[in-house]
Structure 1
Amino acid sequence: MKKFFFIISNFIKLLIYNLLIILWHIWFLLINIILVPFWAGASIPFLFHDKNYPIVYWFHQMWARSNLFLMGFWYVLETDKEILDKKKQYVIISNHTSIMDIMLIYSLMRHHPLVFVGKAELAKLPFFGFVYKNSNILLDRNSLSSCKKVFKKIQSQIDYGKSICLFPEGRVPNPSILLGNFKSGAFAIAIIKKIPIVIFTIADIKTKFPKFALLKGKPGKIRIKQHHSISTKNFSLKEKNILKQKCFNLIKFQLEQFYSDKY
């Protein structure tokens, strides 16, 4: 009889836990139904003039920081004691595990208005898609002509004084993969434009807000490492794969360090 009650008790606990996780994910949808029209809508009058982009970027940051706060996330940032120059542009790269990565990058790069290079499918989302496609760069990875156009758009945005953020894995990899293979675009751009690369390693989001996992996740601390920026002045385009491998190794090593630590 005790064993029976023990099984029933554990079953009820698991049921309640799963229900709370589902409600938490629903909460994420609900707050974005409110936050996206509010913050994105407020940015629309400033969308179509590049000189106004710092204002647009501020609204994007408010959306991101509100999301993180209301979802119960906070981050702890470890740095290599480098203060980024507010007057410089950067190519920002990071491992990619969740939509929360975007919100974290917005929050981390407060003084460097940047545009993301993201998948074209996001433009189909109601309301958010309109603002996203008019303030970031959309890429159709199945189209070679799209890739060529995006490369030109990235260079144009840099010429306007903006920083660029790319996830070199291209997409969120399978949960079993620590770090997916990197594509070369971010490194080619950084070398061509002679812009330093800022690298972030983001831990914990893979388990705390996994992609397409309704019964997984929980609020809590996110660990982030900001590595020392890498100058690209002495790299030639032929050496982009060397630069790519260097950045890949930095992120992979840091992820291994994060997940080997007791947490």
Structure 2
Amino acid sequence: MKIFQALFTIYSLLIFTALLLLLGIFIVVPLLFSDQAGKISFFFIRLWARTWSLLSGFRFEIHGRDHIDVKQPYIYIFNHRSFFDAPIIPIAIPQQVRALGKKELSKIPFFGWVVGKLAIWVDRDNPESRKESIPKLIEILNKGISIVVAPEGTRNDTEGLLLPFRKGAFRLSMETEIPIMPFAIIGADTIHKRGSLFLSPGKVKIYFSKPIHPDDHHSIDDLAEKCRNRLEIMLSNNLK
């Protein structure tokens, strides 16, 4: 079984790399002209992610996308259990987005350069680095572009539904009056488990909720608790 998994992983990563080399320039170049040209970049990102997924046997079932107003920026939050969450984001979200990314990923040749045009690199163990990311995220939101944040701060490798939330996303929402859009990802950790080098074909389900507006809450803690409860309910109801 391990041999088949190893061969499949090599096959899938070769496709991933070939598509990145083929489409990477089409992802980066539009962003050199303007942020709004990122819509073109995201066409090619989705083409990359969908083609890789199709050829690798990764399948997706998306629910609740009608809750998204494509003309409205959001702060998307999600439960983070796998590396495979990354390609799910452009497939599931019908908007161009920017995301926080682990600084270590910026060191991967070519991949780090491409993704760096769409991500803000953060050293998640460094509070100063996280603090410096806030003005950059506000600037992106003010341009009408959505952002994606994993409020757990790292991948969840426990039996619990969610790790404790960091408050940055909710502080941003309160400061900018941009609504939070929770979405639940179920099954990504069956495709790539934390601590494993191997990938496996499989199916991922994604559920979007109605947006949560910051002006309906009295404090950052209140907003964070409401979002956490919403995400926990989404996960509990759909893991059955």
| Same fold per superposition (TM over 0.5) | yes
- How far, CA to CA, are the matches of 2:161 and 2:189 in structure 1? 9
Aligned mate of 1:249, from 208, 212, 229: 229
> What's the CA shift for 1:175?
4.5
1:74 aligns with 59
Unaligned runs of 5+ in 1: 1-16
Aligned mate of 1:60, from 35, 45, 53: 45
- How far, CA to CA, are the matches of 1:205 and 1:84 in structure 2? 22
- How far, CA to CA, are the matches of 1:87 and 1:145 in structure 2? 33
Question: TM-score by structure 2 length?
Answer: 0.91
Q: Is residue 42 of structure 1 aligned with residue 26 of structure 2?
A: yes
How many residues are matched?
239
Maintained 8 Å contact 2:9/2:200: no
- How far, CA to CA, are the matches of 1:22 and 1:158 in structure 2? 41
SS of 1:214 mapped into structure 2 = coil
Maintained 8 Å contact 2:67/2:210: no
Cα RMSD (Å): 1.9
SS of 2:157 mapped into structure 1 = coil
Q: Is residue 93 of structure 1 aligned with residue 73 of structure 2?
A: no
SS of 1:50 mapped into structure 2 = coil
Maintained 8 Å contact 1:44/1:131: yes
Q: Is residue 232 of structure 1 aligned with residue 217 of structure 2?
A: no
Maintained 8 Å contact 2:177/2:215: yes
> What's the CA shift for 1:44?
2.5
Question: TM-score by structure 1 length?
Answer: 0.84
SS of 2:216 mapped into structure 1 = coil
> What's the CA shift for 1:180?
1.3
> What's the CA shift for 1:156?
0.8
SS of 1:51 mapped into structure 2 = coil
> What's the CA shift for 1:200?
0.8
Aligned mate of 2:172, from 189, 201, 214: 189
Choose 1 or 2 for highest CA Rg: 1
SS of 1:201 mapped into structure 2 = strand
- How far, CA to CA, are the matches of 1:32 and 1:175 in structure 2? 28
Q: Is residue 218 of structure 1 aligned with residue 200 of structure 2?
A: yes
Maintained 8 Å contact 2:84/2:188: yes
Maintained 8 Å contact 2:60/2:205: yes
2:131 aligns with 148
SS of 1:233 mapped into structure 2 = helix
SS of 1:47 mapped into structure 2 = helix
> What's the CA shift for 1:78?
2.6
- How far, CA to CA, are the matches of 1:66 and 1:190 in structure 2? 34
- How far, CA to CA, are the matches of 1:131 and 1:91 in structure 2? 22
1:202 aligns with 185
SS of 1:87 mapped into structure 2 = coil
- How far, CA to CA, are the matches of 1:69 and 1:190 in structure 2? 35
Runs of 4+ aligned structure 1 residues displaced above 4 Å come to: none
1:27 aligns with 11
SS of 2:37 mapped into structure 1 = helix
Instruction: Call closer, same or farther: CA 1:213–1:177 in 2, change over 3 Å.
Output: farther
Deviations 1:14-41 (A, max 9, x none): xxx2211111222222112201112222
Aligned mate of 2:150, from 154, 163, 167: 167
Maintained 8 Å contact 1:175/1:206: no
Code of the residue aligned with 2:131 in structure 1: it is K
2:91 aligns with 107
Residues 7-26 of structure 1 mapped to structure 2, 5 A cutoff: 17-26=1-10
> What's the CA shift for 1:159?
1.6
